C-alpha cells in the first residue's frame, strides 16, 4: 500500500514537471497573453511593424480556412513578417534557416476565451540550424520581445 502511494506521488510530480512553465520554452516557442482579441492583437502588431519598417508578407486566418471545410475553429491567425537585414545573414550562413524565416507570430483564442500569442525563439532556431553566436540573433530576440510586448500592452 505504501509503495503505491509513493509511486502515485512520484507520477504526479513527474507530470507536473512536464507541464510546468519552466519547460514550456523547451519547444522553442515563446508564448504570452494579450488583453486584446486575436484580430486586434495582430492589427496592433502590424501597425508597430509598419512604423519600424518591418515587412509583413502575409496574414493567414486559420479559422476562416477551417470554416471553408465545415469546421468551427476559435479565432486563430498567423502573421508572417521579417526584415531582410536581419534574416539574410542567417540564411546565408545556412540556407535551411530559410524554412523558419521569415518569422511568424501566431495569435489564438484559447479554450478559456483568452487571447494568446506565440513565436519562435530566434536562439532556438539558430541552434536548430547551427548558426549560433551570430550577432543578429540577440537583436532579433530583443526586437521580438519588445514589439510583441508593445502590441500586447494594455
Per-residue pLDDT of the chain (154 residues; tens, 9 = 90+): 555 444 444 444 444 333 333 334 589 999 999 999 999 999 999 999 999 999 999 999 999 999 999 999 999 999 999 999 999 999 999 999 999 999 999 999 999 999 999 999 999 999 999 999 999 999 999 999 999 999 999 9
Please give the tally of structural domains in the chain.
1
Q: Is residue 131 part of a domain?
A: yes
Q: Is residue 21 part of a domain?
A: no
CATH assignment at residue 67? 3.30.310.70
Q: Is residue 6 part of a domain?
A: no
Q: Which residues pair with 34 in a beta bridge?
A: 115
Range of the domain at 64: 28-151
Q: Is residue 15 part of a domain?
A: no
Q: Is residue 5 part of a domain?
A: no
Q: Is residue 9 part of a domain?
A: no
**Distance (Å, rounded) from C-alpha 116 to C-alpha 33?**
4
Helices 135-151 + 84-93 axis angle, to 10: 140
Residue 92 DSSP SS3: helix
Amino acid at each position: 500500500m505504501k509503495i503505491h502511494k509513493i509511486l502515485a506521488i512520484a507520477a504526479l510530480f513527474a507530470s507536473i514537471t512536464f507541464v510546468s512553465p519552466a519547460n514550456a520554452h523547451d519547444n522553442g516557442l515563446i508564448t504570452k497573453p494579450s488583453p486584446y482579441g486575436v484580430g486586434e492583437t495582430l492589427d496592433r502588431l502590424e501597425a508597430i511593424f509598419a512604423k519600424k519598417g518591418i515587412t509583413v508578407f502575409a496574414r493567414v486566418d486559420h479559422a476562416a480556412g477551417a470554416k471553408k471545410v465545415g469546421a468551427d475553429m476559435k479565432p486563430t491567425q498567423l502573421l508572417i513578417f521579417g526584415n531582410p537585414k536581419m534574416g539574410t545573414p542567417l540564411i546565408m550562413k545556412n540556407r535551411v534557416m530559410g524554412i523558419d524565416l521569415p518569422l511568424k507570430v501566431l495569435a489564438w483564442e484559447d479554450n478559456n476565451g483568452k487571447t494568446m500569442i506565440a513565436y519562435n525563439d530566434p536562439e532556438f532556431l539558430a541552434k536548430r540550424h547551427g548558426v549560433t553566436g551570430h550577432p543578429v540573433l540577440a537583436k532579433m530576440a530583443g526586437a521580438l520581445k519588445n514589439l510583441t510586448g508593445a502590441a500586447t500592452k494594455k
